[in-house]
Amino acid sequence: MKRTHHCNELRPENIGQEVVLLGWTHSRRDLGGLIFIDIRDREGRTQTVFDPSQLSSETFEKASSLRPETVIGVKGTVRQRPEETENPKIKTGNIEVVAENLRILNTAEVLPFIIDDPEVASKVNEELRLQYRYLDLRRPEMARNLQLRSKVALETRKYFDENAFLEVETPMLFKSTPEGAREFLVPSRLAPGSFYALPQSPQQFKQILMVAGVERYYQLAKCFRDEDLRADRQPEFTQIDVEMSFIDREDIYQIIEGLLRRIWKTALDVDIPTPFPRLAYKDALNRFGIDKPDTRFGLELVDMTDEFKDSRFKVFSNTVADGGVVKAINIKGLACATQGQIETMTNHARSFGAKGLAYIKVENNEWKSPIVKFFNNSEKEALKNKLQIEEGDLILFAADKWLTACEILGKIRLYCADILQAQGKLDVPEDQYNFLWVVDFPLLSFDKEMNRWYSSHHPFTAPVEDDIPLLSKDPKAVRGQHYDIVVNGVELGGGSIRIHQRDVQKLIFEEILKIPPETAEARFGYMLEAFKFGAPPHGGIALGFDRLMAILCKTPSIRDVIAFPKTAKGTDLMTNSPAPAEPKQLRDLRLEIKKGKEQ
């Protein structure tokens, strides 16, 4: 039986045509002597009708016995559905196919979970769904995700091709670079005792491509990191990886804004306005308590350091005297917070090292809090004016080092926003997309345990030119030419303008990061060597493709947009991997490692 139409193709203009449909039995309903079978493929589904008065008894009995997900072929004639039986939920809902013949191509056993009801299927234990991933992917919701992913990947390639980029594949077997995240190591049979590493990103290769004169590179790159997993992390993931020569940050912003505008139009038919707003890292922390802020709602942090530097409330005044800050946030309308919710907020504060959480509830025109008695009239008035305090508000405080105080209230801000949304007191439109660039990150961070500076982004990030003199005088004040692209509180990706001068790169490695020259040479010698031969100014960015697709598909987990993901424990339940190696493989590996040590 030759397939002539897919299951989302037939429309009223096809009425009267003889057609063939191939697919899976989505559902079967026996009504008044007629059997209605929805046949489904990856494009959609179509209703077919089996009328015993027009069929052989054998064909009708076959239709009566069909199990869900049996693979079938139906031949019949398209007709208009009777009045008031149309199904507006599917695109073929105005027609049906009157069956003339049925072929069973493959039967299905009893299913481990329901597929045809999206509400029921969405509640199935995820581990069961992953065990039977081939069934899970048949669900229309999952099929749509894969189709959209393919469509966005194709449009991404078209966009970069139109903008004179070359798609270049980089190696999967790389050398270990221990400065980054934990890596997956691959033993080399030909070099006993030596190992490849699966790449955390193509970062160094794409810089080498710039030295090679490629000028505009992109790749939908596979990357690997042996990290603890969660909803937005997988051990293997995909990046839209980009690098350009002879550019500055503005060029990166322009090309990526164009890409995202194209993707959102293609995927959602949404026009996103450009250029995107820019927000300095320090301002993001000061206002939202996080460097990937969701700006669809307010609830901004307010600095009260000056107002409480001489306060009788010693927790505040002592913190300021020790160089810390006092930050506050007004959660409008949440004075009704339960004790359990307050305890959760307090635990968030403690997770950052705070001893507790100071708060004020405004109820019945009274400020209810054990700390209010320490405030004078001037401090109360400052709070009222700067926080616009009204009846029903909940005021929360964090007094600590600047970064800690910001992060405490930033985490609590998001928690409270979820509560307010659930109560209908905060409108955060699902179809609103607030993009922004977060810029001017610190180039370096200090590791107290190691007593040395480390790169906030990676060691190839160029400092802002005006700040280069500060590298030796005041490293913490040096800004990096690093930028993150954020939408609705999700970091889609990040990148930077790179260091392209060999002497500056050696300075960062050896003088700032304190990487011994022999270690820098072993890890990055080939890059330093390449920089001797005319490396152009260059920069780039990497966007998390899986994370981007999760936003477009409106799912909180990137596992729903990856065909065969791993669980939170890094296992593939369908194939039962990772699995123990064969004894012979382990024996050979031990011998190779031993041989390498002896050599």
- Give the CATH superfamily of 297-422: GAD-like domain (3.30.1360.30)
Mean pLDDT of 403-408: 95
In this model, does residue 231 exceed pLDDT 80? no
Surface-to-core class of residue 143, CB atoms within 10 Å of its CB (0-12 exposed, 13-18 middle, 19+ buried)? middle
At 118 the pLDDT is 84
In sign, the C-alpha dihedral spanning 132, 137, 142, 146 is positive
Mean pLDDT of 12-19: 95
H or E stretch covering 93 = none
Q: Can you give the residue ranges of every domain in the chain? A: 12-106, 297-422
DSSP code per residue over 442-501: BSEEEETTTTEEEESS-TTBPBPGGGTTHHHH-GGGPBBSEEEEEETTEEEEEEEEBP--
Per the model's pLDDT, the better-predicted residue between 342 and 193 turns out to be 342
At 198 the pLDDT is 94
Q: Count of CB atoms within 10 A of residue 91's CB?
A: 15
Using CA atoms of 458, 463, 468, 470 in order, give the dihedral in degrees to the nearest 10: -70
- Report which DSSP code applies to 511: I
Three-state DSSP at 396 gives: strand
| 1, 37 Cβ separation under 8 angstroms | no
| 553, 507 Cβ separation under 8 angstroms | no
* Beta strands 278-280 and 435-439, pairing class: parallel
Mean pLDDT of 121-127: 88
In this model, does residue 597 exceed pLDDT 70? no
In this model, does residue 179 exceed pLDDT 70? no
**233 confidence band (pLDDT: 50, 70, 90):** confident
Mean pLDDT of 195-209: 93
pTM here?
Answer: 0.91
H or E stretch covering 589 = helix 583-598
CA distance 456 to 470: 16
Q: Write the single-letter amino acid at 535.
A: A
CA atoms within 13 A of residue 25's CA, in its CB half-sphere: 28
| 124, 112 Cβ separation under 8 angstroms | no
**1 confidence band (pLDDT: 50, 70, 90):** very low
Q: Count of CB atoms within 10 A of residue 569's CB?
A: 9
Mean pLDDT of 550-577: 94
CA distance 485 to 507: 29
Q: Which CATH number does 12-106 carry?
A: 2.40.50.140
Average pLDDT, the chain: 92
Q: Count of CB atoms within 10 A of residue 220's CB?
A: 15
Rama region for 44: left / alpha / beta (φ>0; ψ in -120 to 50; rest)? left
CA distance 124 to 118: 10
Rama region for 164: left / alpha / beta (φ>0; ψ in -120 to 50; rest)? left
* Beta strands 216-224 and 166-167, pairing class: parallel
CA distance 470 to 464: 10
Q: Count of CB atoms within 10 A of residue 154's CB?
A: 11
Q: Please write the tens of the pLDDT for every residue from 326-345.
A: 999 999 999 999 999 999 99
